[in-house]
């Protein structure tokens, strides 16, 4: 089985090679992202393995099909970057990793909350410069605060479980109530009610036509003054321009994001010696109450183990003609 792996970093190659003894697959690792221009690299491969910022659109899939590719293996949970209709038309199966250490992402969301609130990143830099002042470092207790969780799948449910330990009041919105979450004492409300009541709003839903820009000018207007918004899911859940306006007007008191609407041109790369052309990310970086991490919420040893092994098992099931339990339709 020949597999072309796109958007490869050193750690991706390390983990695939670590587990390949059991499968004996032939990998071609490419640092470049998959798109219509780089799809020619898939010639002679049976499978392409892609990540969150690869562009697997109709034009790309047409090239993949002509090169003999039969399977698109996502090494992530989201699949909004894949044209599923085009894949089906070309008889290419799409598989994903639906769950990989939900604790990794949920814990990172909590880390963003605690860092923004208690300003530990600023305190760290101050002390290194010999500044031991506490001025402007005041935070608030999480205990008794109302946390709004939008999306209560595996990650959202794990996040609720963690926040329960802080003594928070947790309210949630989802298209269907998660009984496990209800059993924790979480109250499900409408999206409007969650936005209006929450001190902190954390996004844990997939990106689709219903959730794109779920945080926008209208929803921000209904939120509490000084609300904290956390996004560890997909960048386009947030309308960046509207969020910047909310920050300027001080409607949004804190913003913590691990994902960004235009991240495919930025994240996972070292741009420290480049002039960044994205004006919106530069504007966000200028706010003292904004914390940005570069899509690292998933990045733990446990998650990488699971992502790699589930991806390889998905490919093995396809190779053997077995049921694809993680197929995306």
Q: Just list the catalytic residues.
A: 234, 263, 295
What does residue 17 show for φ and ψ, rounded to 5 degrees? -70, -30
Name the DSSP class of 215. B
Count of H-run helices and E-run strands, the chain:
12, 12
Rounded to an integer, what distance in angstroms lies between the CA atom of residue 224 and that of residue 253?
9
Rounded to an integer, what distance in angstroms lies between the CA atom of residue 263 and that of residue 281?
9
* Rounded to 5°, angle at Cα 206 from 203 and 211: 75
Please count the residues of the chain: 329
In the sheet with 146-150, reading across from the earlier edge strand, the strands are: 187-188, 169-173, 146-150, 200-203, 227-231, 252-257, 290-292
Q: What residues contact 81, with CB distance under 8 A and at least 6 apart?
A: 50, 52, 53, 54, 55, 56
The partner residues of 73 in beta bridges, in order of sequence, read: 49, 95
Contact 265, 278 (CB under 8 A): yes
Determine the distance from the C-alpha atom of residue 129 to the mean position of all C-alpha atoms in its chain, rounded to a whole number.
34
User: Of 256, 315, 12, 9, whose CA–CA distance to 118 is shortest?
Assistant: 256
Q: What residues contact 222, with CB distance under 8 A and at least 6 apart?
A: 192, 195, 196
Beta pairing class for 2-5 and 47-50: parallel
């Amino acid at each position: 089985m020949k597999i072309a792996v796109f958007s490869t970093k050193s750690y991706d190659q390390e983990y695939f090679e670590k587990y390949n003894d059991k499968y004996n697959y032939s990998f071609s690792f490419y640092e470049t992202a998959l798109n219509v221009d780089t799809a020619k690299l898939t010639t002679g491969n049976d499978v392409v393995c892609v990540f969150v910022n690869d562009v697997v659109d109709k034009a790309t899939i047409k090239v993949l099909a002509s090169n003999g590719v039969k399977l698109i293996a996502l090494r992530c949970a989201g699949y909004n970057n894949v044209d599923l209709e085009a894949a089906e038309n070309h008889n290419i199966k799409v598989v994903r990793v639906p769950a990989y250490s939900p604790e990794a992402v949920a814990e990172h969301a909590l880390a963003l909350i605690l860092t923004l609130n208690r300003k530990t990143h600023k305190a760290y830099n101050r002390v290194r410069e010999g500044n031991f002042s506490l001025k402007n470092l005041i935070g608030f207790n999480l205990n008794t605060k109302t946390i709004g969780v939008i999306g209560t799948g595996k990650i959202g449910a794990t996040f609720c479980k963690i926040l329960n330990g802080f003594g928070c009041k947790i309210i949630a919105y989802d298209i269907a109530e998660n009984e496990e979450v209800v059993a924790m004492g979480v109250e499900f409300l409408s999206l409007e009610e969650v936005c209006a009541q929450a001190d902190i709003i954390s996004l844990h839903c997939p990106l689709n036509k219903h959730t794109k820009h779920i945080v926008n000018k209208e929803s921000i207007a209904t939120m509490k003054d000084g609300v904290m918004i956390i996004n560890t899911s997909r960048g386009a859940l947030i309308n960046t321009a509207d969020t910047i306006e909310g920050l300027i007007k001080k409607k949004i008191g804190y913003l913590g994001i691990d994902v960004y609407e235009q991240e495919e041109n930025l994240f996972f790369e070292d741009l420290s010696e480049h002039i960044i052309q994205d004006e919106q990310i530069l504007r966000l970086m200028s706010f003292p109450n904004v914390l940005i991490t570069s899509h690292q919420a998933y990045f733990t040893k446990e998650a990488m183990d699971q992502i790699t092994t589930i991806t390889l098992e998905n490919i093995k099931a396809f190779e053997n003609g077995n049921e694809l339990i993680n197929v995306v339709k």
